Structure 1
């Protein structure tokens, strides 16, 4: 082996001490909250756009009721305005006997059934609603009056506003039992609605938000007495997502209403680690619910252990520093009276796979945050212990081993998917079922790592993450979960996580060392050959796991995420990713 590789290996062998210290400190809260029962506890299964619906226990409102939930957010990317005829506006849009009208009426019956099931279980029914989504025929008929100069449906046009008022009124008339809607702006998915089109309504900054909020408040909250949860999540330059000053600029101009609640992700951007706690939480005068994703698309999607609720409540490890200046977790803001609840995404987020056969890790995250929401005096660890004892049937040392496994999973994901040594700029280098490489996704980060002389520490960190999974696998064999299927999946998913992190460790050893050689002309070929062989062997081991264990989630693809196909869905990029990148250096080593 080369000298550089030996240095890296010795660093990792010393990692056992660091690992023990990490496990001892993980899970420590900085402030014990006063006990509260937050008013709202909602859950959503976010199905993949354009794909078959998930089969999940969380689709059943009776399950949600048993977990303490009082509301279900139904999200099949068929918003309620796609299930009305718009007859109150223009009967030419969906004329009687047309294919479009038949589709609309069938969609309406599905929403009726969702509302009935939720109410039968004793919880409220809310529909996830993208705005703007309107019938294609409506846009064809009235485009000159509702489109701006860029061809976007615009709230700056008076007719667009009038249409939305009529649309909301027709929704309430068609679905009188609907308890309210959850409104998303910024992203508009129309893969599941063949007769509709749409776009982001925020074309004019704060003015667009204020126009839409005024219409929603008037038509839904005041006139129809139904709830509106207005999401601040958006994409691009919309600052409502995380800028406290902009959030106040918009929301302070909106009169409060008991039925109007703002919904905010607990992170300042998407559901990534290393992204700070959202500074708009607890700001302003309107009530807020906080969004928590329990099947995180950047971190395995439940294919392997990834316990996030300790970090969500108490603050993630990377923010537990003496220099922090604000809240890092929900425990530190929950006493604020405008914090009104939690909205979990028990399943879903992102696109494609991995596809699960078992929901153990989604269930852990969902149940614990739900229990904490209903009694915050428990603390995160108290809620976790209840899950381990009441749901899994563990006792004493078994509970402690299960908690160590859960906390280790969070520490390993931080080091394997992200980095403590080098804060990653390209957090999307891996997401959903895709693994990027040095040929595109990791280029800018690798350039910075090489320039700052951090190659060895970064690779040692990836090796440490893999070592953590060795302990997770060992622990998984000592925890006798009561349910046989969960017990099997605990062990299978731990091995899945071990293979993922080994593939990443050895792949990075090849790619990062190769990239460094590209810059200086000196390649540590001995180390690269060694890790390339280990990389190949681990892929084979991972594939055997999937073939021999029926509960195993589908595997990752060794290619980059994207681009979108003709069907509007994201696919693998066959020209980029960890496989094309390592194959590039395979050719170099064989020449």
Structure 2
């Protein structure tokens, strides 16, 4: 099968999108729909820059949003159809830009996105979602011959902040549902000679929620599926784009064509505001993937993902040097099998930077800071599961938020035994950051980015002291003072977006022994489900959560209930 090297290209569509925190998961359709000809010309111009640079680096395909807003259907409300008609015209120009640069066009699709009127009509006609999508895609491929395929997401729907004419919802709930969907939809792709890229990414909802890591769910979903039109797309680990994750073993469990999803704009690691280098991490995965059957390429997310205030866009913003570097090294490692060091030196020459040896040393020191201070290494190395989700290896930072709380202190003290080691690694990382400033000058990269990283990581080092040091008589005051200084420095007009530092020193009224019992009951260190999981955690706990959400909603933290799809999705 032809090699597939995909890159996302939605960044230009966020120009002028005036929100502090942006949902980078897909194009804001309402925003794009309000724009005039000049805005669309800018989008095409920037897409041309992205496409030609990506093609020159070795990518051969690009992803774009999305089928719901591009496929016309008589059952959609008339006003929305008029907006779709205009969007189709503008997007044809965008597709043409990508095609002219040598990139095949792939369009994303959630299963299932619909308007209120469309949902009512489906119910009235007693038509299934699969039947509707077969007809919709059949016409879509006829209308857009330039589209090479569709990237399907079945395990995550729109976030709570999305207020669109179309709303996505999770309709595939079991492996049998997923297999039936594939069996019905694949003949449409075969008929039009297009590719279906099926993402195994899920957020833990319903029995299909463990598809990305559970061998039984994975095997049942793809049982007897042999279509040449199908490509299975998997994130490199068993959860989202974090470090400390072994390569997903499902790459070795099917002969179907597969691609690996990699993120170079690291949504949990600053989104390119500072160097969060992925070269050595992805080099290791690339070596391991050589042993897997029928891995035909990768999907690189360089602009998509997360709910964050950070705005640097790969390829089209000069400040996005760290995302550009990650993207360049990633494609060189995956496509050409290049050594990381050689790829970094080549990038430095292409961008007319300074001393490449200084840049490599800076990246090594930065890599250590990210691994040991952005993460708490001893916790991150532990394999933990709750219900159908592998617990992320990062606890204290989430998207654009840095958390310092007494409840986290208790949790980390339970999981981390070597408190002195955690404190020493924090100090070593702060020393690294001091050394990185003169290296940045020699390497010809932005010194201000390293200073921003040092100021941000200084807060993490203070939090580390709060979590693990025994003598913390004034630590709360020092954290609050540092938080105020940080906010004042990075909230001024004209300066970059900053992390929000959320503090809560109110004691968690839970005995450490009882906390340990609760953790051992709710979490497990094995992939397979225990008897208590099947009897209580996967079933009764859903009912308990729904009761709490209805009767005691204030017990659920606002951040957990309002961001992305909300924590309630984990309990479905």
TM-score band by shorter chain is: 0.7 to 0.9
Matched, 1:382 2:339: no
Contact 1:46–1:345, Cα closer than 8 Å, also in 2: no
Change (3 A) 1:393 1:495: closer
Change (3 A) 1:409 1:535: farther
Give SS of 1:477's match: helix
| Structure 2 match to 1:229 | 197
Give SS of 1:202's match: coil
Q: Alignment partner for residue 478 of structure 2, among 520, 524, 533?
A: 533
Q: Deviations over 1:258-283 (max 9, x none)?
A: x3211111111101112222111233
| Structure 2 match to 1:26 | none
1:144 CA drift (Å): 6.0
Give SS of 1:208's match: helix
CA distance, structure 2, for counterparts of residue 58 and residue 541 of structure 1: 38
| Structure 1 match to 2:91 | 111
Contact 1:81–1:167, Cα closer than 8 Å, also in 2: no
Q: Deviations over 1:150-199 (max 9, x none)?
A: xxxxxxxx632221111111211222221111111111227667322331
Matched, 1:372 2:352: no
Change (3 A) 1:442 1:141: farther
CA distance, structure 1, for counterparts of residue 131 and residue 61 of structure 2: 30
Give SS of 1:180's match: strand
| Structure 1 match to 2:461 | 505
| Structure 1 match to 2:217 | 246
| Structure 1 match to 2:170 | 200
| Structure 1 match to 2:438 | 474
Give SS of 1:558's match: strand
Paired residues in the alignment total: 468
Contact 1:131–1:200, Cα closer than 8 Å, also in 2: yes
| Structure 2 match to 1:172 | 141
| Structure 2 match to 1:70 | 60
CA distance, structure 1, for counterparts of residue 246 and residue 79 of structure 2: 48
Give SS of 2:8's match: strand
Give SS of 1:185's match: strand
| Structure 1 match to 2:101 | 121
1:414 CA drift (Å): 0.9
1:334 CA drift (Å): 2.4
Give SS of 2:339's match: helix
1:539 CA drift (Å): 5.4
RMSD of the TM alignment (CA)?
3.1
Q: Alignment partner for residue 84 of structure 1, among 71, 76, 80?
A: 71
Give SS of 1:285's match: coil
| Structure 2 match to 1:264 | 234
Contact 1:82–1:193, Cα closer than 8 Å, also in 2: no
| Structure 2 match to 1:353 | 309
CA distance, structure 1, for counterparts of residue 177 and residue 91 of structure 2: 29
CA distance, structure 2, for counterparts of residue 139 and residue 131 of structure 1: 13
CA distance, structure 2, for counterparts of residue 531 and residue 165 of structure 1: 58
* 1:99-498 superposed matches below 5 A: 99-143=79-123, 159-189=128-158, 194-203=164-173, 205-220=174-189, 222-236=190-204, 238-257=209-228, 259-314=229-284, 329-334=285-290, 336-356=292-312, 358-376=319-337, 378-394=338-354, 398-423=355-380, 427-441=394-408, 443-449=410-416, 452=417, 454-480=418-444, 487=445, 490-498=446-454
Contact 2:58–2:335, Cα closer than 8 Å, also in 1: yes
Contact 1:288–1:339, Cα closer than 8 Å, also in 2: yes
Q: Deviations over 1:285-335 (max 9, x none)?
A: 111111110011111111111101211112xxxxxxxxxxxxxx2212225
CA distance, structure 1, for counterparts of residue 423 and residue 48 of structure 2: 39
In the alignment, structure 2 segments of 5+ residues that lack a partner are 12-23, 33-41, 383-390, 504-556, 567-572
1:554 CA drift (Å): 1.1
In the alignment, structure 1 segments of 5+ residues that lack a partner are 1-36, 147-157, 315-328, 481-486, 517-523, 572-591
